[in-house]
Amino acid sequence: MLPLLCTLLVQILKAQTQQAFVASGKNITTADPKATRATKNLLKNLYLLKERYTIFGHQDCLAYGNGWRYNVNNPSGYVADVYNTCSDIPGVFGWDLGQIEQRLNNASIDYVINQVKLRDLRQWVKWVYDNNGINTFSWHADNPVFGGNAWQEGDKTTVCKILQKGSSWNIKFNGWLNLLADFFLSLKGDDGTLIPVIFRPFHESTLTNCFWWNEYGNGCSHSSYIALWQYTIDYLLNTKGVHNLLYAQSLNHAIYKNICTGSYDIEEDYPGNDYVDILGLDAYQPNLTSANTSITKIFMQDVNDECDYITEFASLNHKVAAITETGAENIPNTRWWTQVFSPLYANKKLAYVMLWRNPDKLTDFTSFYCIYPKHPSKPDFLSFYNGTNSFVFLRKLHAINLYR
């Protein structure tokens, strides 16, 4: 019964989408009405491009990769793991501004999370822009009330406390937003034009038992997430005058089953059309020690349904849909690219699909999620790369001016 109900739900969304476009004829517009021309053009072109292509992306790909870091332990002059595998480079470059907030009390701190230096980050952002790629930023912000990192939940009241205007927590959080604003306003092209970037704060809004921004209790309600999102965007726009950002909200894998069972409604977390440009999904394949076909089949069916849902919801609300994080932990399936990745995300009218990062394995031994030259799935990745008509990398994207 549930699969039928879910199918009907998507069909209803499709019908509403078609009616909405016929009735209004509304062109896609940025959540920020004062967005720069280049920022508006980026959103418009993403909206148009998704009808034909999906851009391949990778997190932190210029900063480090499997066995190397930029300017450190890098005798071979590595450019990026993807480039070293297929001689092409992703078109979407993911970055993270987590820990930039630590500069509030110590301006000498010159790096963000994973030890990426700010001067290098600015350099890479400009290089990506100059080569017609896309920069997107997440923010694994520390807990402003209880200390610790983004995964420090405290007593589940952080969101409500920092929204108490004039409180010490609110003042601290505003200071963090000032640091974000200063960074975004420092990103400029050779002609002084502000570089448009996608900002994805408070990501995986539907995840529980993880980040401080999606844990509630002791009188702090679930609806506070929307208030936090709107407060942050309003502050950047109206207080700091930042107008080179597109705003991406990302949901977490498994939302569709929760929607179908009635345990989740997207409106619980959706900040509203005036605060979102891109609706994303973070979807990781469960940790596998081998290419478990039954688990893979379930994962693919679930994510397929979720892709249908977010693309239809995005279209209904004149937004762009994307897979904002994905991957299979350590990629145990040597044919993952042609058996899972491409069948799952090709021809879905997604603006981009971004693989999560590859740690350096020199100082960071966490799991990896994308290809690198010595991985056993390299032949399959090359088959995917050489055979795809759906995904674009930077070489092809370079010929398409996204900012005009």
Q: Which of 303, 312, 216 is nearest to 266 (CA)?
A: 312
The one-letter code for the residue type at 108 is S
The proportion of the chain whose per-residue pLDDT surpasses 70, expressed as a percent, equals 90
Our answer to whether residue 204 is catalytic in this structure is yes
What are 278's strand-pairing partners? Answer: 248, 320
- Quick count: other Cβ atoms within 10 Å of Cβ 22? 8
User: Mean pLDDT across the stretch 329-346?
Assistant: 96
Residue 231 resides in a domain: yes
**Cα separation values, 196 from 10, 126, 159, 278, 391, Å:** 32, 10, 28, 14, 22
Helix (H, G, I), strand (E, B) or coil at 234: helix
Question: For residue 129, what are the domain limits?
Answer: 2-397
Which token pair is 123? Answer: 């350099």
Residue 314 resides in a domain: yes
Element at 198 (helix H, strand E) = strand 197-201
- Quick count: other Cβ atoms within 10 Å of Cβ 33? 10
Q: Which of these ranges, 171-180, 262-271, 298-307, 392-401, has the smallest mean pLDDT?
A: 262-271
Tell me the per-residue pLDDT of 203-215, one tens digit each, with 9 for 90 and over.
998 888 889 998 8
User: Mean pLDDT across the stretch 226-253?
Assistant: 96
Tell me how far apart the alpha carbons of residues 91 and 311 are, in angstroms, rounded to a whole number.
20
Length of the chain: 404
Number of Cα atoms under 13 Å in the Cβ half of residue 110? 5
pLDDT at 373: 96
CA-based end-to-end distance of the chain: 48
Q: Which of these ranges, 76-80, 244-248, 332-336, has the smallest mean pLDDT?
A: 76-80
Cα–Cα–Cα angle for 379, 384, 385, rounded to 5 degrees: 95
pLDDT confidence bin for 306, thresholds 50/70/90 = very high
Which of the two residues, 276 and 205, has the higher pLDDT score? 276
Our answer to whether residue 325 is catalytic in this structure is yes
Backbone angles phi, psi at 205, to 5 degrees: -60, -25
Residue 15 resides in a domain: yes
Residue 404 resides in a domain: no
Taken in order 40, 42, 47, 48, the sign of the CA dihedral is: positive
Residue 240 resides in a domain: yes
pLDDT score of 174 more than 50: yes
pLDDT at 256: 64
pLDDT at 13: 44
Strand extents, DSSP E, 302-368: 320-328, 352-355
Residue 348 resides in a domain: yes
pLDDT at 39: 98
CB burial of 257-277 (b: ≥16 within 10 Å; e: otherwise) equals eebbeeebebeebbbeeebbb
Residue 403 resides in a domain: no
Tokens 């480090």 label which residue? 64
pLDDT at 12: 40
User: Average pLDDT of the chain?
Assistant: 90
Please pick, among 153, 204, 215, 312, the residue that the annotation labels catalytic. 204
Yes or no: say if 197 and 244 are a contact pair by the CB < 8 Å rule.
Answer: yes
DSSP state of 148: S
Tell me how far apart the alpha carbons of residues 219 and 234 are, in angstroms, rounded to a whole number.
24
Tell me the per-residue pLDDT of 121-146, one tens digit each, with 9 for 90 and over.
999 999 999 999 999 999 999 999 99
Tokens 């900002």 label which residue? 199
Q: Which of 352, 354, 382, 356 is nearest to 369 (CA)?
A: 356
Tell me how far apart the alpha carbons of residues 15 and 316 are, in angstroms, rounded to a whole number.
9
Residue 402 resides in a domain: no
Backbone angles phi, psi at 108, to 5 degrees: -80, -15
pLDDT confidence bin for 399, thresholds 50/70/90 = confident
pLDDT score of 319 more than 70: yes
pTM strictly above 0.95: no
pLDDT confidence bin for 257, thresholds 50/70/90 = low
Strand extents, DSSP E, 34-177: 54-59, 64-65, 68-69, 92-96, 111-112, 116-117, 134-139
Q: What is the CATH number of the domain that holds 197?
A: 3.20.20.80
Number of domains in the chain: 1
Please pick, among 101, 215, 306, 325, the residue that the annotation labels catalytic. 325
Tokens 């394949």 label which residue? 285
pLDDT confidence bin for 394, thresholds 50/70/90 = very high
pLDDT at 85: 97
